């Protein structure tokens, strides 16, 4: 169980970082979301993975730590607010620049053959 959980955390983190390095805004937003999911799962796993145990001390012989659960709930709320802000920011950038490139610059495109003929005077 721990190995599968660790692989899922690693896959989410790796794909999130990969998407963060893209040049378009939508993959960056998805990468931030995947990275936050990976961090949430890591925080949750830091409280010992246990099924069927109570998060209250003293009511059972074994218990699970409630602090990582509280941290994950807080991180989910903050992650949702961050995602909403980044989406609005990227929509504003798209409206201002007519392109969704992260740096605001349009990528270089070679001129079409018709444009080359007009430039060369042919």
As a whole number of Å, the CA-based R_g of the chain is 23
Angle at 69 between CA 8 and CA 85, to 5 degrees: 75
On whether the CB atoms of residues 109 and 101 are closer than 8 A, the answer is: no
Query: Bigger pLDDT: 53 or 16?
Result: 16
Domains and CATH numbers, the chain: 1-49+63-97 (1.10.287)
Quote the CA–CA distance of 43 and 86 in Å, as a whole number: 23
The label of the residue with tokens 């970082």 reads 17
Q: What is the mean pLDDT of residues 107-114?
A: 71
Average per-residue pLDDT in the chain?
Answer: 82
Q: Is the pLDDT of residue 74 over 80?
A: yes
pLDDT of residue 108: 72
On whether the CB atoms of residues 97 and 89 are closer than 8 A, the answer is: no
Express each pLDDT in 25-62 by its tens digit.
889 899 999 999 999 999 888 877 667 777 666 666 77
């Amino acid at each position: 169980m721990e190995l599968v959980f660790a692989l899922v955390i690693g896959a989410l983190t790796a794909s999130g970082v990969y998407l963060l390095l893209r040049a378009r805004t939508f993959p960056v937003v998805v990468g931030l979301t995947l990275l936050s999911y990976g961090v949430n799962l890591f925080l949750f796993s830091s409280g010992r993975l246990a099924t069927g145990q109570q998060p209250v001390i003293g009511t059972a012989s074994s218990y699970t730590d409630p602090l990582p659960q509280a941290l994950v709930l807080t991180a989910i709320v903050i992650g949702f607010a961050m995602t909403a802000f980044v989406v609005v920011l990227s929509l504003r950038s798209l409206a201002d620049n007519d392109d969704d490139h992260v740096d605001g610059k349009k990528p270089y495109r070679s001129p079409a053959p018709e444009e080359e003929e007009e430039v060369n005077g042919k």
